[in-house]
A and B are shown apart, each in its own frame.
Chain A
Amino acid sequence: EVQLVESGGGLVQAGGSLRLSCAASGFPFSNYWMTWVRQGPGKGLEWLANIKQDGSEKFYVDSVKGRFTISRDNPRNSLYLQINSLRGEDTAVYYCAREGSGSYYPDYWGQGTLVTVSS
């Protein structure tokens, strides 16, 4: 069974940093692209970034370029999202997701981890 478990969220002051983790199990992690998506309070899903199987390609939404860094550790079956210079608008539930084979579509998602940025 595919499982994705996010961790690392919490209450952080504006300007601070946070590293989110996603522990994957139930599938060959190193064979799949992985993605981070967030949902702010009262907002829709927002795609943030994805990373190729070997980490050699990464893509980011323009609004987080320079502040967010996606990475992975295949031997540890783990995905990460480093968030720097946190802002109030970064308050959201952050989801990691596995991308399906072939075309782009996240097929399995975690339950999410809540990040709250206080001013």
Chain B
Amino acid sequence: QSVLTQPPSVSAAPGQKVTISCSGSSSNIGNNYVSWYQHLPGTAPKLLIYDNNKRPSGIPDRFSGSKSGTSATLGITGLQTGDEADYYCGTWDSSLSAGVFGSGTKVTVL
């Protein structure tokens, strides 16, 4: 049972937009920065967004992040077949004194 809740799956056609929600509480998202990761099985997870809405160098601006209260959202525009992967949100939980990840969302490009 993950501390952060994400929808199990989202899908859209190539070129369309998807959003992935990440719901937490005041002890994690509410008072800490959120990051987002793309993960293909058998590979190293890749950081997409950090500090709620910042993109590391090399990450296209098709990926965006936002946070409001105890929830965060990852947006992917101009969906491409290469975007098919699992996506996770992550943050620090101040009550647990531990890092936490979301349950993961599988993105399917129709």
Contacts and interface: CB of A to CB of B under 8 A. Distances in A.
Contact of B97 (A35, A59, A100): A59
Given A44-B104, A45-B104, A111-B44, A62 B98 contact: yes
Interface string A43-68: 01111001000000001111000000
**Interface SS majority for chain A:** strand
A75 interface: no
B98 A60 contact: yes
Interface residues of A, number: 26
Given A103-B33, A104-B92, A109-B45, A46 B50 contact: no
A104 B46 CA distance: 15
A50 B77 CA distance: 33
Contacts of B101: 37, 44-47
A47 B35 contact: no
A102 B90 CA distance: 15
Contact of B51 (A47, A97, A102, A109): A102
Interface residues of B, number: 28
B39 interface: yes
B56 A45 contact: no
A105 B47 contact: yes
B91 A111 contact: no
Interface string A18-41: 000000000000000001010000
A9 interface: no
A97 B98 CA distance: 15
Nearest to B47: A107
Interface string A68-109: 000000000000000000000000000101001011111111
Contact of B50 (A4, A62, A107, A109): A107
Interface of A: 4, 35, 37, 44-47, 50, 59-62, 95, 97, 100, 102-112
13 contacts: A44-B102, A44-B103, A45-B37, A47-B101, A59-B99, A62-B96, A95-B45, A97-B45, A100-B47, A104-B32, A104-B99, A106-B99, A109-B44
Closest 6 CB pairs of A and B: A47-B99, A105-B35, A44-B104, A104-B92, A109-B44, A103-B33
